[in-house]
Structure formats: structure tokens, C-alpha cells
Amino acid sequence: MREEKPVMGRITAWVLVVLLFPGYLMAQKQSGPPPQPLHKVGDHWTPYQPPQEFPPDAQVYIIQPGDTLWALAQKFLGNPYLWPQLWEQNQYIRDAHWIYPGDPLVVGVKAVEAPTPAGEAAVPAPETEVPAAPVALPALGWEARETGGEELVPLGSEDDIHCFVYLDTEGEALPLSIVSAERIGYQARFATGDIVFINGGEAEGIKAGDEFFVVSPDRVVRHPTTGAKLGRVVRYLGHLRVICTQEHSATAEIMASCDAIPLGAKLKPFEAIPIPMAPKTAAATRCDAASGKARGFIVYSKDNVESLGQDHLVVVDLGEADEVQPGTFLTIYRENPVPGLPRIVLGQGAALTAGPHWATVKLLATDGPVYVGDRVEVR
């Protein structure tokens, strides 16, 4: 059991934060205490190291009291669910739930004034902060869909992506790990806010501010029919940030935890993974014809759940090489046991992340139980 911090200590810390900086804000929902420590940058307080210079075409907005990434995504991108795109463009923000008035935020590109044809009077550009052209999506490994004005919806949540798994198909080396902690004398597992020590420091190229996923390699996944090795499941346990370094070690704070983090947990460089967005799409029906696109299998389920349904997370053996990218919809089905009869449609899922030959998929709608070994087809 974790030691509870003294109540008076918690109250004092919060009072100091409020007195020093009344404008700390959350982007969506509070996931933990605000980042620390605060320091003064120009005329405001922030825990981050905001950039001082920007590309010439960058449109920069100064965060104001009351702002959230959710609201700013609505203002600049036209849809609050696109807030991960703002976070992706401003990676100095370590925790998307906390943004600070006075910090700069890149929100897009400046409108370029077209040259005026000879003989025509120049028309002044409108005085507005909203880009005149659509804001380009950051490079996410997938292309935005042409929506034709359709409403975009998120296909999952942060936990669906940052607290699930990926498939290691290359036997990646993960030399960094958590080897000790401040509370090691009376605590065997660790969580958000705990201070831990890792087995790499300045000599290994690690510096203060570096962030890492905390991961745990799990079992090997095999093809349900051929038995061929598909890769090793690696579970995300959370992520941490280095706060100071020594020659061959570093001190870090766990910024978020999905599960209890043990000593020996491995580290992988952190990259924010945006939630894929897509227009609302009708669910697959029993009478839909097969698409003729790539087909595969469900090969793994979160927590090894046997009977799956809506909102469960799975891994399939289709990936980018099979034209499956974040945002791709898949039909879930089962072959009819009577030869020659139509397949049995079980529901629909959407890919959240993808590798060369694998993807994590969220089951969006199901009709009856789904199992590892059931089939999927790209819609």
C-alpha cells in the first residue's frame, strides 16, 4: 500500500500553486497533479520550457486564462476532438491536461497573401486569428480523410492508445529500465507521482526533460491457424520524465501510470500518439457484401479476455502493409460452418495504431460475443 502524504503538506502545496499561478488549466480531464516545478518565463509562471523562436509561417497564439486545448481546437481547427493535433504541434507541453497562460501555442500556419494582379487594388486580409486555409494535420503516419463536411468523431481515448500494447516484430533492444525508487524500502510497485531511478544517464545521452514510455514485454503471439510467430506483445504501463541526470543514472518522475509499475520495467522513448479521427460511418450489416480487401484475424485481446464485445481492444494481423492505418474501419466476421452460405457478420472495429503487419483495434459495435481467432476484413 502506498504511503499517504500528510494532509497539511498537500494543502500547503496546492495553496502555493494557486498563489503563484492562478491560471493553471486542464485540457480535458484531470489525470494527476500539475507538472512541477514552476519557474518564471518572461512575465508568467510555467513548468515547461516553451520555445522562443518559431518558423516564419507558424501562427502562434498566447494561451489565456480559461483556455483549454479542447476549446482551442474548436476555435482554430473547428472541432474540439482535434485537440491531440494541437498537442502534437507543441511537444514542449509534457501533460496535455495542463496548459499555462502566457505560454505560446502553435495553432497552424499564417495565411499567405496572394500577389495582386496588375491594375487591381489590394484587398486587406481579414483581421482574425483563425487560419484562412485548412490547418495541415501533423505527420501521423496516416492521411486525413476527405469528409465532405461530415462530423468527425474520435475512435478511441487516450487510455485505449497509451494503456494498451504494441507488437514487437523486430526483437527491439530496450536497454533502459527502472532499477530503484525513492520508496523502495516499503513499496514494490509504483504509480503516478513516484520518483524512480533508471540505469542510464549523461554518458548514455540521457538529459533532463527526456520522456519515456514505461513498458513490459509480454508473451509471443502466434497466428491462430498456422501457428507462425507474429511478434511479442509489449504492454504500456505508463510514462515518465527525467528530472535530473548523473553519469550513468537518472532520476525520473512517473507522469502517468496505467497499471502498477514494478522494478525492472523497460523504457522506450516517448512520442505522443494522437487519437485517430474519422467521420461517422454506418456499422456493418449482415447483408453487406465482402469488400474484397485485405483479410486477417484477431490474434490478441487486452488482458487476454476470452469473450469480447463493444469497446474491447484487440490486436489483428493486418497493418500498414495491408493498407490498415489509424482510422481504418474493419468488418468483424466468422465463416459460416455450413459451406456455401454467407459469412456471419459480428460487428465493426476501427484501427487505433498500426505497425507493418499488425494493428490495435477497438471494437465499436458487436452483435454477440467475439473471440480471438475471428476474422476481420478492411472495409
For 164-218, write each residue's pLDDT tens digit.
999 999 999 999 999 999 999 999 999 999 999 999 999 999 999 999 999 999 9
Number of domains in the chain: 3
Residue 79's CB is within 10 A of a number of other CB atoms, namely 15
pTM of the model as a whole: 0.64
Query: Do both 303 and 252 map to the same domain?
Result: no
Whether 151 is covered by a domain: the verdict is: no
Selected residue with higher pLDDT from 206 and 98? 206
DSSP 267-332: EEE----PPPEEE--PPP-TTPPP--S-EEEEEEEGGG-SSB-TT-EEEES--GGGT--TT-EEEE
Residue 80 reports pLDDT greater than 60: yes
Residue 4 reports pLDDT greater than 60: no
Selected residue with higher pLDDT from 180 and 11? 180
C-alpha cell read off for 180: 530503484
Q: Give the integer Cα–Cα distance in Å for 294 and 323.
A: 8
Query: Do both 169 and 247 map to the same domain?
Result: yes
Query: Do both 166 and 83 map to the same domain?
Result: no
Query: Do both 34 and 134 map to the same domain?
Result: yes
Cβ-contact 224, 160 below 8 angstroms? no
C-alpha cell read off for 219: 508473451
The CATH number for 263's domain is 2.40.10
Bridge partners, 106 (sequence order): 60
Residue given cell 493498407 in the structure block: 323
Residue given cell 505560454 in the structure block: 103
Whether 19 is covered by a domain: the verdict is: yes
Query: Do both 207 and 325 map to the same domain?
Result: no
